[in-house]
Structure 1
Amino acid sequence: MLMNKKILIVDDDPRNIFALKLTLKARGYAIESCIMAQEAFEILKSDPQFSVILMDMMMPGIDGYEAVRIIRNTPEIKHIPVVAVTAQAMPEDRQKCIDAGANDYVSKPIDVDLLITAIEKLI
């Protein structure tokens, strides 16, 4: 059913990854995860068949905004939809994520129903 739908979670907080993995696996998604943008690029280039990327926007090093821009400028992976996941919840923050190249935006703490809706719209 959904097991061919793979999601890459990129978040520097292992607790967020753990919670998202449990939630999404319970709904039948295949999940991979990493804690740094650079690692995400390597995963995506070796396997560009992800259905969606959940990208934390506030990470050390390469943040989510720059990571999304890099993804959008990399031909092999630019087609993969990105959902920005961030604790920044002001209206202008949503627009900043969309301007960076994200397809959708979900604020933390994550409303699982909103997240699933965002993912299903993009798959």
Structure 2
Amino acid sequence: MNKKVLIVDDDPRNIFALKLTLKARGYAVESCTMAQEALEILKSNPKFSVVLMDMMMPGIDGYEAVRMIRDTQEIKHVPVIAVTAQAMPEDRQKCLEAGADDYISKPIDVDLLITAIEKLS
């Protein structure tokens, strides 16, 4: 399979749980806790299959980070799945308008997540 997933979340517990889940299914996983770091990782290695972006982070939030990815020529093609505890219909729309390709609400339904990753990568 060899699909690479970048997890961006300011909560190490979320990263830990997602990493375990995805690695158990054969994905290669990298993670970081800040949007700026995610941009640097993607620029140095644009071969990621998908980015799981937490939308509620301190500093640069996920909405701004997705816009920055879309505005950066060498990484704008990388699919982004917004991951957020904000589960209202307008939140989904807000994520998609920011440039996310899909949206998963927390707590994460693993089957939905895997389906989203497979669809985009």
TM-score band w.r.t. shorter chain: over 0.9
Correspondence for 1:13:
11
Task: Report how far residue 47 of structure 1 moved.
Answer: 0.4
SS in 2 for 1:92: helix
Q: 1:107 aligns with which of 96, 105, 108?
A: 105
Q: What one-letter code is carried by the residue in structure 1 that aligns with 2:41?
A: I
- Alignment-derived partner of residue 96 in structure 2: 98
**Cα drift, residue 121 of structure 1:** 0.4
Structure 2 unaligned spans of 5+: none
Shift of the alpha carbon at 1:38?
A: 0.5
In structure 1, distance between residues paired with 2:119 and 2:43: 24
TM-score (norm 2): 0.99
What is the correspondence of 1:61-100 to structure 2 with a 5 Å cutoff?
Answer: 61-100=59-98
Match of 1:60? Answer: 58
- Partners in 2 of 1:43 and 1:91 — Cα distance? 31
Query: Offset of 1:90 from its aligned partner?
Result: 0.2
Structure 2: distance between partners of 1:37 and 1:92 = 23
Report the number of matched residues: 121
Identity %: 85
Query: Residues of 2 paired with 1:77 and 1:22: CA distance?
Result: 26
Instruction: Write out per-residue CA displacement over residues 70-116 of structure 1, whole angstroms, 9 at most, x where no aligned residue.
Output: 00000000000000000000000000000000000000000001100
Q: Unpaired segments of 5 or more residues in structure 1?
A: none
Which amino acid letter does the alignment assign opposite residue 67 of structure 2? Answer: R
Kindly report structure 1 stretches of 4+ aligned residues shifted beyond 2 Å. Answer: none
Corresponding letter in the other structure for 1:68: V
Q: How does 1:34-49 map to 2 (within 5 A)?
A: 34-49=32-47
